[in-house]
Structure 1
Amino acid sequence: MKQFIIIALLSITICRSNAQQKTNPMLTNAERQKAVELLKQTEDGVVDAVKGLSEAQLNYKPAADRWSLAECVKHIAIAESELWAMAEPSLTQPPNPEKRGEIKFSDDDLIKAVEDRTQKSKTFAALEPANTPYNSVKEAITAFRTRREKLIAFVKNTQTDLRSHVLLLPVGSYDVYQFILLIAAHSNRHTQQIEEVKADPNFPK
């Protein structure tokens, strides 16, 4: 089931490019800093986007088939957990750096593809807001921030070679470092969705 989550996120048109192959696949200080900054930036983006809003604003839906801000936040929170649950188990397995040659997307191409709101995709039932365990936006934000802070701490402190743990999925191959970037980009994708709802002319004042 969890493998299908990534298919939903990446079932958009992505321009394939040859990822630069590293002669030394160890995570560099620059890569570590890039991931931490992106995770922090996109965490702040989610929190700031809904800060101080009323219940009417949080629950406003521009149309019956569109999500409210509350629903977006609940989706972000559950996806934060589910996406990392896809990647984390691979870190207990032996590294497979020989599979790096199968990676076809650069880090930046992956981020851009996930953040691109011009290409829409429908999520799976497990990630639908109504199926999440959160009863309120506050509860979802708390869960999101808790998981995000743990992920940031992991990136800062891990001595694991994330580049040498490659996940082989139906849509392609990605290393664990790229999955961390994907998690950050996913939250930004839905922060953009939140801003789209707030820009609706009938959004409550």
Structure 2
Amino acid sequence: MSRYLLSLLTLAVTPVVAQSLAQGERDYALSALHASRKLMLDTVSGLSEAQLKWKPAPNSWSIMEIAEHIEITEETLPQLVAAAMKSPATPEKKQADPRQTDYALMKNVPLRDKKLQAPENIQPKGRFTKIADLEKAFRAARDRDITYIRETKDDLRNHFSTHPALGDLDGLQWYILIAAHTERHVNQMKEVLASPGFPKK
């Protein structure tokens, strides 16, 4: 057998190795996750029960409810990525420069100029009666996300899940979205804090 044919056969049976994240991609997501965690925890820190449960309008969310929505989302979105990773990779969906979408998520999602209705499954249901319990659950979920992004060898850039408003996002972008979503709702909390009638304590 010629060396040329042997080389072709070797290529044919060589498994495709999943591509891990570039360090810059990993660092960007980790920075966003760390920063938004601090924003969330700093914003609810020191608030009284009256302040946490106060609503600017009957159909508005309280800060406690916004925090619960953040925590539920923290638990839910990684499940979408896990499901996507079990499906075949679809590299044909990969953007020419996915980093631009990464940046756009962090720039645009936190903006509150367009209000969206949260799906029923991630709306607050009063699961927490104490902010300390909610903070503990949020920290645990965010720590899992940070550990995963720091250590994973998964081919996140070639597996996708579809967001109803944002379209196809790759696995890493879903984790960046978690950070951007947290920042968006911290901004919502700040709107409540600045509302007329907000309790002084």
TM-score band (shorter)?
0.7 to 0.9
RMSD: 2.2
- Number of residues paired by the alignment? 181
SS in 2 for 1:129: coil
Q: Which residue of 2 aligns with 1:7?
A: none
**2-structure distance, mates of 1:67, 1:93:** 36
1:73 and 2:82 aligned? no
Deviation, structure 1 residue 135:
3.1
Question: Which 4+ runs in 1 deviate beyond 4 A?
Answer: 101-105, 168-171
Q: Which residue of 1 aligns with 2:10?
A: none
Which TM-score applies when normalising by structure 1?
A: 0.80
Does the CA-based 8 Å contact 1:35-1:180 persist in structure 2?
Answer: yes
Deviation, structure 1 residue 100:
1.3
Structure 2: state its 5+ residue gaps.
1-18
2:101 pairs with one of 102, 106, 118: 106
Q: Which residue of 1 aligns with 2:155?
A: 161
Q: Which residue of 1 aligns with 2:87?
A: 93
1:124 and 2:119 aligned? yes
Residue-by-residue CA offset, 1:109-149 (whole Å, 9 max, x unaligned): 2222321111101112222212x533332222211110100
1:155 counterpart letter in structure 2: I
Q: Which residue of 2 aligns with 1:30?
A: 24
Cα pair distance change 1:124/1:103, threshold 3 Å? farther
Deviation, structure 1 residue 101:
4.7
Residue-by-residue CA offset, 1:68-118 (whole Å, 9 max, x unaligned): 111111111011111111111222333221221599972122222321111
Deviation, structure 1 residue 168:
4.3
Q: Which residue of 2 aligns with 1:50?
A: 44
Max Rg structure: 2
SS in 2 for 1:155: helix
Structure 1: state its 5+ residue gaps.
1-24
Deviation, structure 1 residue 150:
0.5
Deviation, structure 1 residue 169:
5.3
Cα pair distance change 1:68/1:168, threshold 3 Å? closer
1:178 and 2:187 aligned? no
Q: Which residue of 2 aligns with 1:11?
A: none
**2-structure distance, mates of 1:103, 1:82:** 27
